[in-house]
Structure 1
Amino acid sequence: MQTKAAKQALIDAGRWVSQQGWVPATGGNFSMKTDDGFVVTASGFDKGYLTPEQFLELDQQGNIVSGDGKPSAETALHLKLYELQPQSGCILHTHSVAATVLSRFIRSDSFAVTGYEMQKSLSGIHSHLDTLSIAIFDNDQDIPALAERVAKHHQTHPITHGVLIRGHGLYALGNSIFETRRHIEGLEFLFACELERIKLEGAVK
């Protein structure tokens, strides 16, 4: 995709994600592959009101070649995920309440669900009887170290739809921005359902 088109697609996605309440304040960061490398959001901007000037252009190795502002430290995790899943074309990192709370409530190293029809919104999931699993990693301000933990996990449990960072949020992957948006919407629905189920179970007890 051409750089100009990629920026506009991420601007549109930012507006949509913001309307859902999934990127409060200036949280989150977005990226997309382009014909020349990548475009990523610069740090510190409201994702609901992005402009083309609020993006950085990176080459294939992740070096900044154009744009003002500072890249998020989490850009390193974006680049690692692209390396692990070369077919991925877009990564959207969000901070929803459901994803943040569930990632802290769940003590295991994954969010695993079965029985929901909405699981089929995720690529490769064909039935509500399948088990959908999203890896959860402890938050870390040392992003390169976090990225290496993600890479190590990927060796035995390939990451396909995204990852959760405990107490932080979701990194959703997709072959295109359209698939990534679908994955976010499907996952957020499942997160919300599970959070509601946990509340109801607590109330019954």
Structure 2
Amino acid sequence: MTTSQLDQLVAACHWIGAKGWAPATGGNMSVRENGEFCLLSESGKDKGTLTSGDFIRVSIADNSVASGRKPSAETGLHTLIYRLFPEAGAVLHTHTVNSTVLSRVEKGAALKLQGYEMQKTLAGQSSHLDSVSIALFDNDQDIAALAGRIESFAAVNPLRYGFLLRGHGLTCWGRDVNEARRHLEGLEFLFQCELQLRLLEAK
């Protein structure tokens, strides 16, 4: 990881904060440092004002923090993503209204998106005719148990771009900060479209 990647993550956090996508110190963001460690946002910090000093080195293998500082409560989800996807270079977790509401409205195991041109903001997507599936997991305060369920799902099902936690929000990733940020913005646009479409269809 280069210093610029951490700088880009700090800039992305400020952008997320300005959009109101991580209110009341919610959310957490990280970047892969190397094969052994990631740098994860410290717990209880306003994402709109983070500095590079607000990120903590965490062991990807076992979530340990040599500094003794307190990383985000969802540390285990970030390290899981880095273990499952060696190509993942950054992870963004937000608490937006669209993702939170859709995660409760959708009763299935995944949110299916199809017919939107903006699906092409997601890596590997080339047509609005394709179907994009965003996995949905029930929220759990036991992060180790939640990570275990997600890992079991990923062992037999494709898990790309990100996943939703019911009543909680979106966790997404990319090869680097810029791709993770593009995935976040693209998915949020798609979530807003899908939510508006369902509201109109319900009338």
TM category (shorter chain) comes to over 0.9
Q: Distance in 2 between matches of 1:108 and 1:23?
A: 25
**How far apart, CA to CA, are the structure 1 residues paired with 2:135 and 2:65?**
30
Which deviates further from its counterpart, 6-15 or 40-49?
Answer: 6-15
Q: Secondary structure of 2:53's partner?
A: helix
Residue 78 (structure 2) aligns with: 78
Aligned pairs (5 A) from 1:1-150 = 1-2=1-2, 4-35=3-34, 37-61=37-61, 62-66=63-67, 69-150=69-150
The aligned amino acid for 1:183 is: H
Do the aligned residues in 1 keep the contact of 2:60 with 2:82 (CA within 8 Å)?
no
Which residue identity is paired with 1:143? I
- Give the match's secondary structure for 1:159: coil
Mean alpha-carbon deviation: is it higher for 77-86 or for 54-63?
54-63
Counterpart Cα distance in 1 of 2:58 and 2:71: 10
Provide the TM-score with structure 1 as the length reference.
0.93
Unaligned runs of 5+ in 2: none
Inter-partner Cα distance in structure 2 for 1:158 and 1:123: 14
Residue range with higher mean Cα deviation, 43-52 or 6-15: 6-15
Deviation sequence 1:73-109 (CA, Å, 0-9, x none): 2100111111111110000000010000000000001
Q: Is the 8 A contact 2:100 2:167 kept in 1?
A: yes
Distance 1:60 1:137 in 2: 22
State the secondary structure of the residue aligned to 2:108.
coil
Residues 135, 60 of structure 1: alpha-carbon distance in 2 compared, 3 angstrom cutoff = closer
CA distance in 2 between partners of 1:49 and 1:139 (Å): 27
TM-score w.r.t. length of structure 2: 0.94
Count the aligned residue pairs. 201
Is 1:197 aligned to residue 197 of structure 2? yes
Residue ranges of structure 1 left out of the alignment (5+ in a row): none
Alignment of 1:175-190 (within 5 A): 175-190=175-190
- CA change 1:119–1:59 in 2 (3 A) is same
Q: Equivalents in 2 of 1:49, 1:140: separation in Å?
A: 28
State the alpha-carbon separation in 2 of the partners of residues 84 and 123 from structure 1.
Answer: 17
Q: Deviations over 1:25-65 (max 9, x none)?
A: 10000011013621000100000000222111124533223
Give the fraction of aligned pairs with identical amino acids, expressed as a percent.
Answer: 47
- Relative to 1, partners in 2 of residues 1:160 and 1:142: Cα closer, same or farther, differing over 3 Å? same
Does the CA contact (< 8 Å) of 1:137 and 1:164 recur in 2? yes
Matched letter for residue 34 of structure 1 = E
